[in-house]
Amino acid sequence: MSTPSRLDLSHELLVCVFGASRRLELAAFGLPGASWAVPESGLFCAEIDGQRCDAHAPGMVVHGVAVHDDVPGARHAVIELVHEEWGFAITFHLVIYLGAAAIESWIVLRNNGTQPLRVTRLDSLALELPAGSYELLAFSGAWGAEFEPQRAPLTDAIVLESRSGRSSHGQHPWFTLLRDGQTLLSGAVAWSGNWVLRFTPHDNGGYAFSGGMHDWQFAMDLAPGASVEAPPLALALATGHDLDATAIQFARLGRRYWYPHCPLSDMLPVEWNHWWAYEDRAIDEATFRANVDAAATLGIEVCTLDAGWFGAADAGTHWYEQRGDWDTLNSVRFPSGIRTLADHVHARGMQFGLWCEIEGLGTRARLAGARPDLPATRDGERLGYVCLGNPAGQQWAFETLDRLIRDYACDWIKLDFNLDPGAGCNRTDHGHGAGDGLYAHYRGYYALLDRLRETHPQVVLENCSSGGLRIDLGIARRTHMAFLSDPDWPEHSLQLFWGATSMLAADACLHWGYGEWAFAEHPHQRFNPRDPALQLHQIDFYTRISMLRRFGFSQRLPDLPDQVARRYAEHIAFYTSVMRRFVREADLYRLTGQPLREGRGDRWAGFQYALPDGSEHLVAVFRLPGAEPERTLRLKCLQPDRRYTITWTDDDRQAHASGDELMRAGLIVRGLPEEGSALALLR
Ligand SMILES: [Zn+2]
């Protein structure tokens, strides 16, 4: 490490300059021509032994600076600050990405003294925002109601946070600030537990912004020589007021630097999952096999056995109560075992997926009695999960999943998590303290996921949590996709996709077509593929919404009407041969506002997938009930002088227009019924 007086990480898209001679000072941060932070910025915020501390704290001295360039396209600055008197060091990490106006930052605190330090807050980034007129955009998240938009002028102090113990139950860990209607800053916390983002006004019209892991109920006693790492906070900046400008940066960075990859995941296989049509009560060996046979004829590529396979040998058990007993098999439902089902799937040329809630611990699971060291508890009461802050719990979880993958020949594991841990475990015999159980659990869960991928690099990991209640850039670095929500009725599904792609690439998202809910009651989940009144355009509408990302079905397949099955097979063939390349590689532009549940929001939805080299585009259009009959979609990112051929895939109808015409006058869509859809290829 050296101690240069100035550290300039700027490139053509980003200004990022520090003074680092003795004190660390932010000299400039923002876009060329649009500052996003003033030099008073504290850069981070830690609370140690009750003292608030940032880069400007008296006694905080730069000890060394290093810049690592070993990852192509990313520059990682590591700035070590030492506080001699208080006996600790804070390492400020900042990664800038070439080709993007984006950064991520986090801190690591180390106890250099001889006494334990009490750590009660670790904000990964703290900036002083310049004076301006700000609007704050965010999303709240609840079961079946993920990605509900919030938009308000930033006038008073606002705190965005999750205290549920899951990153997107309450609020999604994402925000955007729009300043003076002219420039955008979007941010996301890469953490799956509780997090916080604080916006506090100053008298001069500026704002203090600070955030990262939540300090609520958090306390850690840091032993001499020990260190603690706070999770990253990522920011993307853009000129203008179009959210796609920051969303596309997050998606590109995700694909290139953050998301894990494996061949099966990268293929974006089409999935069938048994859950909604059968749940646990109606699934059994013969039923699963019959669906697998039907799935093969449709062109489906992965068949997933969801909950219901484990627990007591009893057809009447309920999955939720039995979670934890993953070494048991419900042999009444599956007398030949799970491996024979996996072999059957493989024999049909498909891959086998298995659901497991490895953290979950049901009230009737024998595990809690057999392994009293494993349950997470708070004040002596069980919280309903296995604490992975406990190394023994982590080892048990790894061995369990490792065995399931090997014994059952799994190609895909759907990892669910159906409870709110709140502030987490406060047992003191797990190796963590009473105040950092949730932090330790998520560190343990991340370590488990990393070890699983290392041990089984070919296995796909799906992230689910009561649907979409734990979606964030932390778990996105360790699983291959996020399941967006349990319900999937059309306008809900479009709302989610519009919202989720503010922070995730389309190929980091999975959601099924309109599911067939045979047992669970939901006012909007009424889809019956066997309804004789069902029309072709409705089938297309429901199915194509799922094709916007990773694509799948949760329906009863063996007795689908011929017309429906034939149409599904055609959609699957189009997805695999044409569309998924766009989902995997293209930049996504949202051409309409966000459709919202209950008839709110935009009643048209349009999405444009632009391949990075600009050679081809795919446009998907949906007309929701209540929509006006015609909509003009102004396309984006075309070459103004190029002549494009637009081919509508339903009837091969062609039209021609220049890029300039399509961007300024737009593409007029008419003639679609309500619940109608269309796909167009532009070449
Ligand atoms: Zn614990």
Q: Report which DSSP code applies to 522.
A: -
Residue 591 has pLDDT above 80, yes or no: yes
Give the C-alpha separation, 339 to 342, whole Å. Answer: 5
| Residue 433 CA, ligand 1 centroid: distance in Å | 8
| Residue 126 CA, ligand 1 centroid: distance in Å | 30
Residue 443 has pLDDT above 80, yes or no: yes
| Residue 162 CA, ligand 1 centroid: distance in Å | 20
| Residue 380 CA, ligand 1 centroid: distance in Å | 11
Q: What is the reported pLDDT for 3?
A: 66
| Residue 322 CA, ligand 1 centroid: distance in Å | 21
Residue 416 has pLDDT above 70, yes or no: yes
Secondary structure of residue 125 in the 3-state scheme: strand
**H-type alpha helices, 176-318:** 244-253, 263-266, 275-278, 285-298
> Domain for residue 644, yes or no?
yes
Task: Write the DSSP string, 352-373.
Answer: EEEEE-TTB--TT-THHHH-TT
| Residue 357 CA, ligand 1 centroid: distance in Å | 17
Give the C-alpha separation, 524 to 112, whole Å. Answer: 58
| Residue 368 CA, ligand 1 centroid: distance in Å | 14
> Domain for residue 387, yes or no?
no
Q: CA of 220: how far to CAs of 91, 428, 499, 519, in Å?
A: 18, 12, 35, 45
Segment 336-341 shows an average pLDDT of: 98
| Residue 50 CA, ligand 1 centroid: distance in Å | 24
| Residue 329 CA, ligand 1 centroid: distance in Å | 27
| Residue 393 CA, ligand 1 centroid: distance in Å | 9
| Residue 440 CA, ligand 1 centroid: distance in Å | 8
Element (H, E) at 28: strand 25-31
| Residue 394 CA, ligand 1 centroid: distance in Å | 11
| Residue 165 CA, ligand 1 centroid: distance in Å | 14
Segment 29-35 shows an average pLDDT of: 97
Q: What is the reported pLDDT for 474?
A: 98
Segment 369-391 shows an average pLDDT of: 98
| Residue 470 CA, ligand 1 centroid: distance in Å | 20
Contact 56, 20 (CB under 8 A): no
| Residue 436 CA, ligand 1 centroid: distance in Å | 9
Give the C-alpha separation, 26 to 208, whole Å. Answer: 14
| Residue 358 CA, ligand 1 centroid: distance in Å | 15
Which structure tokens are listed for 430? 């797990």
Give the C-alpha separation, 11 to 29, whole Å. Answer: 11
Element (H, E) at 321: helix 319-322
Secondary structure of residue 123 in the 3-state scheme: strand
Give the C-alpha separation, 186 to 421, whole Å. Answer: 28
| Residue 516 CA, ligand 1 centroid: distance in Å | 39
Q: What's the CATH number where 662 sits?
A: 2.60.40.1180
Domain that holds residue 175: 6-258
> Domain for residue 362, yes or no?
no
| Residue 218 CA, ligand 1 centroid: distance in Å | 14
For residue 314, the Cα-to-chain-centroid distance in whole angstroms is 36
Q: At what angle do helices 536-547 and 562-574 cross, to 10 degrees?
A: 30
Residue 389 has pLDDT above 70, yes or no: yes
| Residue 384 CA, ligand 1 centroid: distance in Å | 12
Residue 664 has pLDDT above 80, yes or no: yes
| Residue 323 CA, ligand 1 centroid: distance in Å | 18
Boundary residue ending a domain (236, 258, 280): 258
Residue 233 has pLDDT above 70, yes or no: yes
Q: What is the reported pLDDT for 314?
A: 84
Q: What does the pLDDT look like over 68-104, one tens digit per residue?
A: 999 999 999 999 999 999 999 999 999 999 999 999 9
Three-class secondary structure assignment of 399-467: HHHHHHHHHCCCCEEEECCCCCCCCCCCCCCCCCCCCCHHHHHHHHHHHHHHHHHHHCCCCEEEECECC
Q: What is the reported pLDDT for 316?
A: 84
Q: What's the CATH number where 124 sits?
A: 2.70.98.60
Which structure tokens are listed for 513? 């077509």
Please name the amino acid found at residue 99. Answer: G
| Residue 230 CA, ligand 1 centroid: distance in Å | 19
> Domain for residue 180, yes or no?
yes
Give the C-alpha separation, 188 to 233, whole Å. Answer: 6
Three-class secondary structure assignment of 260-271: CCCHHHHCCCCE
| Residue 481 CA, ligand 1 centroid: distance in Å | 27
| Residue 173 CA, ligand 1 centroid: distance in Å | 24
Burial class (CB in 10 A: 0-12, 13-18, 19+), 652: exposed
| Residue 144 CA, ligand 1 centroid: distance in Å | 29
pTM of the model: 0.98
Segment 11-16 shows an average pLDDT of: 98
Q: Report which DSSP code applies to 583.
A: H
| Residue 638 CA, ligand 1 centroid: distance in Å | 53
**Closest to 667 in 3D by CA, of 658, 582, 675:** 658
Which structure tokens are listed for 132? 């301006």
For residue 538, the Cα-to-chain-centroid distance in whole angstroms is 29
Determine how many CB atoms are found less than 10 A away from the CB of residue 648.
16
Contact 342, 409 (CB under 8 A): yes
| Residue 391 CA, ligand 1 centroid: distance in Å | 9
Boundary residue ending a domain (227, 258, 289): 258
| Residue 431 CA, ligand 1 centroid: distance in Å | 8
| Residue 120 CA, ligand 1 centroid: distance in Å | 18
Residue 667 C-beta-side C-alpha neighbours within 13 Å: 32
Contact 548, 583 (CB under 8 A): yes
| Residue 412 CA, ligand 1 centroid: distance in Å | 28
For residue 365, the Cα-to-chain-centroid distance in whole angstroms is 30
Contacts 24+ apart (CB under 8 A), 657-660: 659/635
| Residue 541 CA, ligand 1 centroid: distance in Å | 46
| Residue 390 CA, ligand 1 centroid: distance in Å | 6
How high does pLDDT run on average in the chain? Answer: 97
Please name the amino acid found at residue 401. Answer: L
| Residue 171 CA, ligand 1 centroid: distance in Å | 25
> Domain for residue 110, yes or no?
yes
Query: Using alpha carbons only, what angle is made at residue 574 by residues 571 and 580, rounded to the nearest 5 degrees?
Result: 110
> Domain for residue 524, yes or no?
no
| Residue 386 CA, ligand 1 centroid: distance in Å | 8
Give the C-alpha separation, 397 to 388, whole Å. Answer: 8
Q: What does the pLDDT look like over 345-364, one tens digit per residue?
A: 999 999 999 999 999 999 99
1 falls in which pLDDT band (50, 70, 90)? low
Determine how many CB atoms are found less than 10 A away from the CB of residue 8.
12
| Residue 143 CA, ligand 1 centroid: distance in Å | 26
**Closest to 388 in 3D by CA, of 361, 354, 418, 353:** 361
Give the C-alpha separation, 166 to 417, whole Å. Answer: 9
Contact 616, 655 (CB under 8 A): no
Listed in sequence order, the residues at least 6 apart from 652 whose beta carbon sits closer than 8 Å to its beta carbon are none
Contact 585, 305 (CB under 8 A): no
How many domains are there within the chain? 2
| Residue 434 CA, ligand 1 centroid: distance in Å | 8
Give the C-alpha separation, 590 to 609, whole Å. Answer: 9
Q: What is the reported pLDDT for 623?
A: 98
147: left (phi over 0), alpha (psi -120 to 50) or beta: left
> Domain for residue 417, yes or no?
no
Boundary residue ending a domain (258, 273, 295): 258
| Residue 24 CA, ligand 1 centroid: distance in Å | 37
Task: Write the DSSP string, 588-626.
Answer: EEE-S--EETTTEE-SEEEEEEE-TTSS-EEEEEEE-TT
Residue 429 has pLDDT above 70, yes or no: yes
> Domain for residue 276, yes or no?
no
| Residue 373 CA, ligand 1 centroid: distance in Å | 9
| Residue 425 CA, ligand 1 centroid: distance in Å | 5
Segment 335-340 shows an average pLDDT of: 98
Listed in sequence order, the residues at least 6 apart from 432 whose beta carbon sits closer than 8 Å to its beta carbon are 387, 389, 390, 425, 439, 440
| Residue 232 CA, ligand 1 centroid: distance in Å | 23
Task: Write the DSSP string, 76-118.
Answer: EEEEEEEETTTTEEEEEEEEEETTSSEEEEEEEEEE-SSS-EE
| Residue 367 CA, ligand 1 centroid: distance in Å | 16
Give the neighbor-by-neighbor strand order of the sheet with 34-37: 6-8, 15-19, 25-31, 34-37
| Residue 430 CA, ligand 1 centroid: distance in Å | 5
| Residue 471 CA, ligand 1 centroid: distance in Å | 23
Q: What is the reported pLDDT for 315?
A: 80
| Residue 220 CA, ligand 1 centroid: distance in Å | 13
